[in-house]
Amino acid sequence: MTMPIPRRGVLFAPWLLLAAQAQALPLPDSAQISCFDETSSTGSVGPGTPDPQPATHPGQDCVYGRSAADRFDLLSKVGGSGVPGRDYSKIANDGSVLPADAQLGSGPGDWACTRDNDTGLIWEIKVDDANHLRHLSHSYSWYDADPAINAGLPGSTAGTGCNGTLPQCHTTAYRDAVNALPGGLCGATDWRLPDLVELTTLQLHERFDGSLTYIDPLYFPVSPANNYWSGRPLAGATATVDGAWTVGFGTPRNFPVPKTASRQLRLVRGGQ
């Protein structure tokens, strides 16, 4: 077998579609290292099993790309990851870069965000406290008054899923509240909703270490297996069909959802 080489190639059709729609953004691969026949897994790529795909099912994603290369220690990283093919660093509340063993907390030097060293994007990490603004289970309706963003329909301000931490539980209210925090979040006040492509870069197509979610469990803990809002409205929206795209981390698929629906949200900064 030819040893896998780190590259940004993607074999999944949904990723190819997103890549065609996106701004220039380095896309990771699927993180899938398990190979399959028509009924079950035939093994995972690694030094002891460099090519577990059956001869009847060649060309599988499991033996190509950064994730396969990572399994052979061929991928150079700035930080670390809990899954193959990714490269993350922990960022403190004050914006400083932390060691891999840093813990979540509210102090200036505690972990609160994660930087993707491949895309350059920095992501908020949620908090396990129902009374906290950034609680992991809070949900919001989609709303943005900017016609340059909302495809002509601003959405809904009627969300009710944030446990009284905001006067109105919608995406713009949450974004503005985070940016208004004293000192900002992780030293920044330019947080925003992620584009569909940006959010999809966090989505895995295989789960690791017993996690129930398709996201790196080490660098994105306290992440419910739900759908999260992107900032991308549904093209061709009308008064009766007014939606926006969500990214699934309980199922690795992307879904258009009515803006009135209540979904979770993870803010991002950088890029664009």
In tens, the pLDDT along 201-257 reads 999 988 877 778 899 999 999 999 999 999 999 987 665 668 999 999 999 999 999
pLDDT at 18: 42
Q: Running DSSP on this structure, what letter comes out for residue 172? A: H
Phi, psi for 79 (deg, rounded to 5): -115, -120
- No. of helices (H) and no. of strands (E), the chain: 4, 10
Residue with tokens 């129930």: 212
pLDDT at 237: 61
For 137-158, write each residue's pLDDT tens digit: 999 999 999 999 998 899 999 9
Which range is least confidently modeled, 35-44, 131-140, 161-170, 175-184?
35-44
For 50-64, write each residue's pLDDT tens digit: 889 899 998 888 888
In Å, how far from its chain's centre is CA 20?
A: 19
pLDDT at 239: 59
Strands (E) across 103-173 are located at: 111-116, 122-124
Joined together, the tokens standing for residue 185 give: 């979040």
Whole-prediction pTM: 0.84
| Domain spans, the chain | 1-76, 125-272
Report d(CA 185, CA 69) in Å as an integer. Answer: 34
pLDDT band at 19 (very low <50, low <70, confident <90, very high): very low
Joined together, the tokens standing for residue 259 give: 């803006």
pLDDT band at 272 (very low <50, low <70, confident <90, very high): low
More confident: 162 or 25: 162
Residue 148: other Cβ atoms inside 10 A = 6
Joined together, the tokens standing for residue 172 give: 């713009």
pLDDT > 70: percent of the chain: 89
| Mean pLDDT in residue range 167-191 | 98
In Å, how far from its chain's centre is CA 101?
A: 21
